[in-house]
Chains A and B, each alone.
Chain A
Amino acid sequence: MSHSEDVQDRHDVTVSSNNLRKRRIVERLFAASGILSAAIAVGILALVLGTVLFKGLSQLKLDFFTKPRPLFGEEGGIADALVGSAVIVGMCIVVAVPLAVLIAIYMSEYAGPRVSPFLRIVLDVLNGVPAIVVGIFIFGILVVGHGQSAVYGALALAILMLPMVARATQEVLEIVPRSQREAALALGVTKWRTTWSIVLPSAIGGILTGVVIAVARVAGETAPLLFTSSIAANQVSLDVSHALPTLPVAIFTFSESPDPNEQAAGWAAALVLIAFVLVLNIAAKLIAGRQRRKLEGI
């Protein structure tokens, strides 16, 4: 019955359904708003990156990479901050990644059905602790009475990195088919060797992706370093028992300066940091892509 009514509507051009037209307009609006929103987001990205690129590029002379941060009223660069960031992030990786992988292994291979979700919640809560609170924690527990040091900065960053890598590793471990583990165990391989030699190697691509993404996040963190490694000499140093200058803190300081030279240095340092983060993100995507293709090939 309704079918014949529809047919009638379609044939009756003059009795065009206003309702249908309205619905079509709404449909177009929906498409338009989607396109507009995406355009806004991409536009903002272009704006920010474009400004950083435009204002920072002119500063990227060789001097910028070889001179340390300037004293009052002088010219300088970010050599000491680059070295400091590299050292601190390196130490952070060394501490956080093995621990995170161990935690993920425990959750996916050993923990009981009640323990694993509990640990997941703990990791998620840890992930949600604001970076500044982590900075104050390390300050209160380690820096007070002993002074700042690059090691403490690395520990603070490691606390931030841990949940991200553990989560990513756990997800990848779950993807490795149960059959692989069972086959190895059936052959008499001990559980730890199974995990070490069979499960982990399959998961390594995913773990690497997770690590790279986490490093990209953590390399730009300022708040924890403000409390643990911000009072440092304006010279390149590898002495991790004292505070080392870092790129994010340098950008933070430059951003508040009225000196046009320091502001320009801030843009250039931001460009270097963004470039680093971007490269890491692209690398993560490439690894993930290769990993997916490898898995699909199995």
Chain B
Amino acid sequence: MKRALTLVIALAAISAVALVAGRAQAAPTAGQDTNLTGAGATFPYPLISKWIPELAKAYGININYSPTGSGAGIASITARTVDFGASDAPLSSSQLADCKSCVVVPWALSATSVPYNIPGVNGRLKLDGPTLASIYLGRITNWNDAAIKRLNGSLNLPDLKITPVYRSDGSGTTYNFTEYLSSVSPAFKSEVGVNTSVSWKTGVGARGSSGVAGVVKSTAGALTYVDVAYSIANKFQFATIRNRAGKFATPGLRGINAAVSKLPKKVTSLQQLKIVDPPASAGPLAYPIVTFTYVIVPTNSSKAADLRKMVYWAVTRGQQFGPPLLFAKLPVPVQAFAFREIKKIQAT
């Protein structure tokens, strides 16, 4: 018995030493596979999932990415608990200051779809901004409401309660959605506002794009806002949304490309990348709820070389993996802007 105990203590001591020694090996040696840890938006997760094996093949860079939400992505990179963060929401000036010399680089582009679960409905739902805002303000509570019927004359909308579902975690998709609703509804702007996390007047919260998709799947009458790749993967019906040109647009590649067609030829700041509710001149196909999604990289970390490789690859060769998942390729002016930002990531 005593011998067993001594053995256990010896083992413990040895493992403790191994632990400490292992900890000391923080920096990877050159020539080995490197690891980059990232966290953030769930929105680009389908695309990042495709990038991970490709980047490992191309440069031997192993990426761990955790879709914890844009808010968590910003917080994590600010606290330097990860090597890079990802967010669909651009950083506010105070967040940028807190991050202490980070660059924000757009690396993907897609649409926020509005999937719904209306059992037995005989067609595609049409919605417009003000109606959607009223639903999320709790003013329209039933699918057979006159306002919805007005947009959908031929649909057999049932007498079913609407359950609006929102992201309970800090989400860039929330930022995109609330930015759109605030621009089309003054009431929404004053009562709720724009942020990655807002105080919703009604509805049910769930974590992550997966979470909201899960609630919609299992709740009759639910609707939510989520990246179109999640809607497609879960075979949801999603609504067409009326744009400024008066037409009901679909969140597909054509809708996304039309939405970004009015960007300036030279992009010099993130402010110019606001593409919600594009003007009528963007055309009849322009989908109103489109967003860029960004990677947040510190400019002066020890892994700068690998981070540069990763981001550069993502905005060039990585783009080809986008279209099957309904991520449109970055427009040329945006790609040029990305290159300029990437240059700021220096090796220490």
Residues of A within 8 A of B (CB): 71-74, 91, 94, 98, 143-149, 151, 196-197, 200-201, 204, 230-235, 239-243, 253, 256-259, 262
Contact B9 A256 (CB under 8 A): no
Q: Mark B1-45, 1 if CB is under 8 A from A, else 0.
A: 110010001001001100100110110000000010111000001
In the A-B complex, list the 5 residue pairs whose CB atoms are closest, starting with the nearest.
Answer: A233-B64, A231-B66, A71-B49, A258-B214, A72-B49
Minimum C-beta distance from B118 to chain A (A): 17
Partner of A73, one of B26, B46, B68: B46
Interface bracket on B = 35 or more
Q: What residues on A are CB-neighbors of B96 within 8 Å?
A: none
* B37 adjacent to A147 (CB under 8 Å): yes
* Contact segment of B74-82, B184-192, B284-292: B74-82
Which residue from B38, B79, B206, B216 sits with its C-beta under 8 Å from A144? Answer: B79
Q: Does B146 contact A (CB under 8 A)?
A: no
Contacts of B39 in A (CB 8 A): 231
Interface: B274 (CB within 8 A): no
Binding site for A on B (CB under 8 A): 1-2, 5, 9, 12, 15-16, 19, 22-23, 25-26, 35, 37-39, 45-46, 49, 52, 62-64, 66, 68, 76, 79-82, 206-208, 210-211, 213-214, 216-218, 229-230, 233-234
B12 touches A94 (CB 8 A): yes
* Interface residue SS majority, chain A: loop
Task: Verify A71–B52 contact, CB threshold 8 A.
Answer: yes
Set of chain B residues within 8 Å of A98, measured between Cβ atoms: 9, 12
Q: Once the chains bind, are A257 and B12 in contact (CB under 8 Å)?
A: no
A contact residues around B16 at 8 Å (CB): 94
Q: Judge whether B66 and A232 touch: CB under 8 Å.
A: yes
Chain B positions within 8 Å of A146 at CB level: 80-81
Roughly how many angstroms separate A253 CA and B42 CA in the complex, as a whole number? 12
Contacts of B68 in A (CB 8 A): 230-231
Complex-state Cα separation, A233 to B234, whole angstroms: 24
Contact A241 B45 (CB under 8 A): no
Question: In the complex, A230→B207 CA distance in Å?
Answer: 15
Q: Which residues of B contact A71 (CB under 8 A)?
A: 49, 52
Complex contact B37–A231 (CB within 8 A): yes
Are A241 and B26 neighbours in the complex by a CB distance under 8 Å?
yes
Asked if A72 contacts B45 (CB within 8 A), the reply is yes
Expressed in whole angstroms, the minimum distance between the Cβ of A161 and any Cβ of chain B is 15
Contact indicator A230/B81 (Cβ below 8 Å):
no
Q: A233-B62, A241-B22 are in contact. Are A257 and B210 (CB under 8 A)?
A: yes
Q: How far is the CA of A224 from the CA of B39 in the complex (A)?
A: 18
* List of B residues within 8 angstroms of A144 by Cβ: 79, 81
* Cross-chain contact A257 with B214 (CB below 8 angstroms): yes
A259 to B2, CA, bound (A): 52
Q: Are A145 and B2 in contact (CB under 8 A)?
A: no
Q: B residues within 8 A CB of A239?
A: 22
Cα–Cα, bound, A146→B83 (Å): 10
List of A residues within 8 angstroms of B5 by Cβ: 200, 204
Nearest chain-B residue to A257 (Cβ)? B210
Q: Which residues of B contact A258 (CB under 8 A)?
A: 210, 213-214, 216-218, 230, 234
Q: Which residues of B contact A235 (CB under 8 A)?
A: 62
A242 to B230, CA, bound (A): 29
A-B pairs with beta carbons under 8 Å apart, 27 shown? A71-B52, A72-B229, A72-B233, A74-B49, A91-B19, A94-B16, A98-B12, A145-B81, A146-B80, A146-B81, A147-B82, A151-B19, A200-B5, A230-B68, A231-B38, A231-B66, A231-B81, A232-B64, A233-B63, A234-B52, A240-B19, A242-B37, A256-B207, A257-B213, A258-B213, A258-B214, A259-B234
Residue in B49, B208, B229 with the greatest tally of chain A CB atoms within 10 Å: B49
Give the residues in chain B near A262, CB-CB below 8 Å: 210
Which A residues lie within 8 Å of B81 (CB)?
143-148, 231
Out of A143, A230, A259, which one reaches B66, CB within 8 Å?
A230
Find the B residue at minimum CB distance from A149: B23
In the complex, A37→B57 CA distance in Å? Answer: 60
Query: What is the minimal beta-carbon distance from B43 to any residue of chain A, in angstroms?
Result: 11
B81 to chain A, nearest CB (A): 5
Additional 5 contacts, C-beta under 8 A, given A71-B52, A256-B211: A147-B81, A204-B1, A230-B66, A230-B68, A240-B23
User: Complex Cα distance A170/B223, Å?
Assistant: 55
Task: Please judge, given known A-B contacts A72-B46, A73-B46, A241-B26, whether A147 and B80 are in contact too, CB under 8 Å.
Answer: yes
Chain B residues within 8 Å of A73, by CB: 46, 49, 233
Chain A residue numbers with a CB within 8 Å of B22 are 239-241
Please state if A145 and B79 are interface contacts (CB–CB under 8 Å).
Answer: yes
A201 touching B64 in the complex, CB below 8 Å, given contacts A94-B15, A145-B79, A231-B37: no
Task: Take A71-B49, A148-B81, A201-B2 as given contacts and tell me if A256 and B210 are in contact as well, using a CB distance cutoff of 8 Å.
Answer: yes
